[in-house]
A and B are shown apart, each in its own frame.
Chain A
Amino acid sequence: MTNQDLLYHYFSNSLTAEQEVVFQTLLESDEEFKAEFEYENSLKKAIKSHESDVLKTKLQGFEHDINSKKTESFNYRYLAVAASLVLLVGWFGYNSFFGTNYSNLYNTNFSEYPNTVYTITRGDDENTLEREAFVAYETKNYETAIEKFDALSETTAQNYIPFYKAQAHLGLENIDDAKTLFTEIVEEDNSDFVAESTWYLALIAIKDKDKEQAKFHLENLIANYSYNQAKAKALLEELN
């Protein structure tokens, strides 16, 4: 058995008792062997530290996912409560005093869709343009986000880009631009955000005081998708 073989066995935890004795003797008597062993042992530590960094990045990514899920479910819960209140107040208001308050309905039900597709804490070697786009989106720099999403759609076919671009337009109150994009998403029907786009089209119709359009989108959402079912039903009832 060569010295190199002894080292192989040492690092794969497979030295026999006999080899262990030879190994220890060599460490004490052979300077060259000792130096090689120490070098490889250092490399082992360096690789472990490298692996730990990789693991830490992964865990930070999980943590980010957990936090965004929490924010999302908080928003949904809040919205569900808000929608019920709207239903009560709206019903009462409609019947007693004012008629449908479209602007309130829109404001109460509208919330910016959270970034659920791109984890910002992912390693920096990822597509940096996409990262920049979502950083801008999350920090509500919608104009920058739109520019980056535009540049991005030239090089990538990710089907969620138009949806988030539409969200950024909503954030800037460019309702018509948002509406065009959402309509395209629903018509093309090949994005992961068709149901969400339908919901936002309904909200836009409410903002435009277009009751028929709003009802059309809500009925479409209730019949074909599971997203925001309860809220859609509540809103529809409100409009009827």
Chain B
Amino acid sequence: MESVQENITIEDLKQGSDLLFKQIYEDNRDKFLNFARKYNLPQDDTIDVYQDAYIIFYNNIMEGKVEKFTSSISTYLFSIGKYLIFDKMKKNNKTINPDFDLSLIRERDALVDASFDLDPNDLTAEQVLLKKYFGTLGKKCQELLTLFYYRGYSIKDIIATSEYTSENVVKSAKSRCMKTLKERINSNSND
């Protein structure tokens, strides 16, 4: 498995294969649990952190924040995981030992690329509404907007990977989706 993993490229991951997504999760799971053991978190919390670290890693790949791997996937996951664990401990006001200054390690781990987005997914009230009504859109609209905003696809990329036939078709489909979304939010907030 090791050798398979070392050959995985950003492009492979960006294809969005479920199989690869699962394989990487499984291949790094035990290593991560082992690594996190020293922080003495309950096992369920460690798994939760591992999952969140993996999602952050994956989101950064999908959003095009990483152009090429500068270290192994497990190193990325450890760095993000470490950040999340300290964040969690700080929020819970838990210290590892009284002499430990958490602010020192709150800093971004040098191993994680500077462009990496580690921000927690805190949403504003407007964003919560957008998320809620995005979930009510039809499958096609959700897919189109996801390709555009989450995966950072250009209109040309979208044409290449979907059934849309021209730039104008994509643009007008996107405008319709955005309009529906706005209408749904407005009609709800007027209730």
Interface of A toward B, CB cutoff 8 Å: 8-9, 11-14, 40, 42-52, 55-56, 58-60, 62-63, 66
Contacts and interface: CB of A to CB of B under 8 A. Distances in A.
A49 B49 CA distance: 16
Contacts of A51: 59, 62, 146, 150
Contacts of A60: 51
A5 B121 CA distance: 28
Interface of B: 18, 21-22, 25-26, 29, 47, 51-52, 54-55, 58-59, 62-64, 121, 123-124, 126-128, 130-131, 134-135, 145-146, 148-150, 152-155, 157, 178, 181
A48 B146 CA distance: 8
A11 B22 contact: no
Contacts of B21: 55, 58
A66 B128 CA distance: 33
14 contacts: A8-B154, A8-B155, A12-B155, A43-B134, A45-B123, A46-B123, A46-B131, A49-B127, A51-B62, A51-B150, A52-B59, A55-B55, A58-B22, A66-B29
Could you say which of A8, A9, A45, A63 has the most chain B C-beta atoms within 10 Å of its C-beta?
A: A45
A14 B145 CA distance: 17
Contacts of A9: 154
* In the A-B complex, the 9 residue pairs with the closest CB atoms: A46-B130, A12-B154, A46-B131, A44-B149, A59-B51, A46-B127, A55-B55, A47-B150, A42-B127
Contact of B130 (A11, A13, A43, A66): A43
Contacts of B157: 12
A62 B58 CA distance: 16
Contact of A43 (B18, B26, B63, B149): B149
B47 to A, nearest CB: 6
Contacts of A49: 121, 123, 127, 131
A78 B131 CA distance: 48
B148 A12 contact: yes
A14 B154 contact: yes
Could you say which of A14, A46, A63 has the most chain B C-beta atoms within 10 Å of its C-beta?
A: A46
B134 A46 contact: yes
Given A45-B121, A63-B51, 13 more contacts: A11-B149, A42-B130, A48-B121, A51-B146, A55-B21, A55-B55, A55-B58, A55-B59, A58-B21, A58-B22, A59-B51, A62-B26, A66-B26
Contacts of A11: 148-149, 152
B55 A47 contact: no
A164 B97 CA distance: 51
B104 to A, nearest CB: 29
A42 B134 CA distance: 12
B148 to A, nearest CB: 6
A13 B64 contact: yes
B131 A50 contact: yes
A12 to B, nearest CB: 4
A45 B25 contact: no
Contacts of A63: 47, 51
Nearest to B130: A46
Nearest to B63: A48
Could you say which of A8, A11, A40, A49 has the most chain B C-beta atoms within 10 Å of its C-beta?
A: A49
Contacts of A45: 121, 123, 127, 130
